[in-house]
A and B are shown apart, each in its own frame.
Chain A
Amino acid sequence: MWEGLWTGMAVGIQTTMIPVNIGLVLLGCFVGSFIGMMPGLGPITAVALMIPVTYALDPASGMVLLAGVYYGAIFGGSTCSILINAPGEAATVATAIDGYPLAQKGKPGKALAIAAYSSFSGGTIAVVLLMLGAPLMANVAKTFQSSDYFALMVMGLTAVSAFAGPGGFLKALLMTVVGLMLATVGTDQTSGVQRFTFGSMNLLDGLSFIMLAMATFAITEGFLMVLKRQDTTGVFKEENLASISDLKVTRREFRKIAPTIGRSSLLGFFIGALPGAGATLGSFLSYGMEQRLAKPKDKKEFGKGSLIGLAAPETGNNAASSGSFIPLLTLGIPGSGTTAVMLGALIAYGIEPGPRMFVERPEVFWAVIMSMYLGNVFLLVLNLPLIPYFARLLAVPRNILIPGILFFSIIGVYLITFNNFDINAMILISVIALVLRLFDFPMAPLLLGFILGGLMEDNLRRSLVIYDGSFCFLWERSITLGINLITLTFLCSPIVQWLLSLRRPNPSKGSASG
C-alpha cells in the first residue's frame, strides 16, 4: 500500500509542481477568493464560471485550477460572512454566527486569521486522510459491477435529498428527477434513437452541462441580486480596513482552538466523504458538536463571537470539502453540488471518474490531491495578508458586478459551442430556475441528477443485460443489497422525522390554549 502511495504522490508532485500548474493553483485561489467573496456567489458558481477557461488546458491542469477555485471560493465565502454577515452559500452560514459578532467587536482581523488558520488545518488534515483513504476506496471500488454503480448513484442522489431535511426532502427529490429527465434529452447512447429533441439538430447531443450549471447557478444568482435589490457596496467601510490588518492570534488562543480543529477536521472529513452531504453539513455538525462539548463558560460565548464557534465550522467545512473528493475521485459520485460540477468537467475532458481513473489517469487523480496541499498553503501564506485588499472587492458596485456575472456566463457557454441556441436555452432555463428558487426548490440536486443521469441509465441497462432482464440484481448481489439498504435508510429518515413532527405538540397552539 505504502509503495503505491509514494508512487502516486511522486506522480502528483511531478504533475503539480511545474510552473504552469503552480501558477494555475495560485490563479484558482485568487479567482475563487474573488468570486466567493461576492455576496450571493458560492463555490458552485465560481467553479462553473471557470470551467470554460479549463477547456484550453490538459485535464490535470484543468482540475488543478478548478480545485484551487473551489478552496478559494470557500475561503472568500468565509471572509464575506465574517465581514458583512452575508454568507455566499450555505456552507459558510455557520461561520457568520460567531465570525460576524467577533468582527463587530472590533476584531475582524483576528476573526479572519482564525478562520484562515482553521481552514488551513482542517484542509490539510483532510487532505492527508484523503490521500490515505482514496486509494483504499478506489481499490475496493475496482470490484464493483454495474449493479453496484447503479445502486451507488441512486444512493448519492437520495442522500442529497435526505440531507435537505424533512422540509426539503420531497422538493430535493423532485428536482433530482427533473435533472434526470433533462439528462435523457438527446440521442440514446445504445439504440441511437432521438429522445425529446423535437427534431432540432441542436439537441442531438443533449443539453450542455455547463449551460445548465450557468443557468441554474450563475445567472439565477445574478438575477436574485437584481430582484432583491441586494447591494453590499459600502457596507464595509474604508475605516474598518485598518483593524483588518491586525491578524494576530495569541498562543493562548491557538491552544484554545487546537482541540476543536482536531475534532472538527475528523468529523468534517467523514461527513464530506458521504455522497451528498458536503461542506454545509460538515460545518453545522462541527459547530453543534463543539457547542455541546464546550465548557459552560465557553458555551455562553457561542453566538457572541466565540473563537471555538468560529474555528469549528471553518475547520469542518474545509475538511468536508476535501472529503467530498473521495466519492468523486474513487466512485465517480459527487459528494456535493460543487463536486458535481467538477464531475461534469471531468466527463467533458473525456475522463470517466471512478476507480478506473485511479489506474488509467493517475496524474489527474494525484494532481488534484497534491494541488490541495498547495492551495491550502497559498490561501494561508498569500491570501491572508492580502485580506485588507480583498475586502475592497466588497465595494465593487452591483451595477458592474451583475452585468459582469451575466456576461461571463453567456461567454462561457458561447465559447464552448459557438451556438446561439445554447445561450437562448440557457436564458429560458435560468428564468424557470429563478422562479423555482423563489418557490424554495433547490438547484444542486437537479444538477447532480443531470450529471449522473446518463451514467445511471447506462449502468442500469448493463445490469439488466447481465441479469437477463431481471431486477434480482438489486438484492442478489451483496454489495448492491448493502448499498440499497443504506439508500432505504436515507429515504426513510426524513419520513420518520416528518411523522415525529406530526406527533409533536405545536408550541404556538400550546401557548394559545395555555
Chain B
Amino acid sequence: MNVNREKMGALFILALSIAYGVYAYKIPLIFLSQGETFNARTMPYALAIAGVVISLLIIILPSYDKEKAITAKKALSGFDWRRTAWLTGLMIAYSLSMPWVGFVIASIVFMAGGVMILGERNIKIILLASIPLVLVLWFLLTKVLGMYIAPGELYYILGGTE
C-alpha cells in the first residue's frame, strides 16, 4: 500500500477497464451487424482501450505535484472507518428490510440507528429525529402527492388489507 494514491486508483480502473474489455468481447451481435463498421461492441472496445491507455499513463508518468502526492495507505488512514462501515451495513439492512416491514417502520429504524451510530445516546433526540420526519414524509408522499408505497409483507401477515 506504499503506492501513490492516484496510481493505486489508476490500477483499480485499469483492472476495471480490462474486465470491461473482456466482457465487451462477449456482447452478442445480431447477424446483420457483424459486418458493420459500428455495432454494439464498437463503443465498449474504444472505451476499454481508452481506459487502459489513460490508466497506464497515470501509473507510468511521474506525479505532477510531488509534494502533494501521498501514498494510498496514508490517504485511507486516520479516518473513522468503523462508523462508516456500520452506516453502510445499516443502509443494506434498510434496503433489505423495506419490502418486509414496510417503509414507515424500516425508515424509523434506519434514522434512529443512524443517529445512534453517530454517537447520540439521548433517547428523546433519537426518537424526535426519526419518528416525526418519517411520518411527515410518508404523509406528504401518500396523502398529498398520492404516491403508492407498498406497506410491506408484515402488514399483510398481520391481517392488513389494501
Contacts and interface: CB of A to CB of B under 8 A. Distances in A.
B80 interface: yes
A166 to B, nearest CB: 5
Contacts of B57: 170
A227 B25 CA distance: 39
Contact of A411 (B30, B84, B107): B107
A420 B98 contact: yes
B111 to A, nearest CB: 5
Given A181-B47, A195-B27, A469-B37, A427 B88 contact: yes
A457 B43 contact: yes
Interface string A372-396: 0000000000000000000000000
B40 A167 contact: no
B133 A227 contact: no
A440 B44 CA distance: 25
Contact of B5 (A181, A439, A501): A439
B52 to A, nearest CB: 10
Given A171-B58, A226-B84, A227-B84, A438 B76 contact: yes
A174 B13 contact: yes
Interface in A402-435: 402-404, 406-407, 410-411, 414-415, 418, 420, 423-424, 427, 431, 434-435
A178 B96 contact: no
B40 A174 contact: no
Nearest to A179: B47
A170 B24 CA distance: 23
Nearest to B112: A403
Given A184-B43, A418-B150, A435-B76, A174 B64 contact: no
A478 B67 CA distance: 44
B29 A191 contact: yes
Contact of A228 (B8, B48, B79, B150): B79
Interface string B12-55: 11001100100110011110010011111001100110110011
Given A177-B54, A420-B96, A399 B91 contact: no
A174 B79 contact: no
A3 to B, nearest CB: 40
Interface in B74-113: 75-76, 79-81, 83-84, 87-88, 91-92, 94-96, 98-99, 107, 110-111, 113
Contact of A178 (B13, B84, B95, B137): B13
B118 A424 contact: no
B44 A181 contact: yes
A403 B129 contact: yes
Contacts of A440: 5-6, 9, 75
A118 B18 CA distance: 49
A469 B38 contact: yes
Interface in A260-291: none
Interface residues on B, range: 35 or more
Contacts of A228: 79-80
Interface residues of A, number: 61
B123 interface: no
Contacts of B154: none
B107 to A, nearest CB: 7
A194 B26 CA distance: 10
A196 B23 contact: yes
Interface in A214-270: 222-223, 226-229
B98 to A, nearest CB: 7
A411 to B, nearest CB: 7
Contacts of A461: 38
B113 to A, nearest CB: 8
10 contacts: A177-B51, A195-B24, A228-B79, A402-B114, A407-B114, A407-B133, A420-B98, A427-B92, A436-B12, A439-B6
Task: List 5 tightest A-B contacts by C-beta distance, closest first.
Answer: A403-B114, A469-B37, A439-B9, A167-B64, A227-B79
Given A181-B16, A406-B114, 13 more contacts: A167-B64, A170-B61, A174-B58, A178-B16, A400-B129, A404-B111, A427-B88, A435-B9, A435-B12, A435-B76, A439-B9, A460-B38, A501-B64
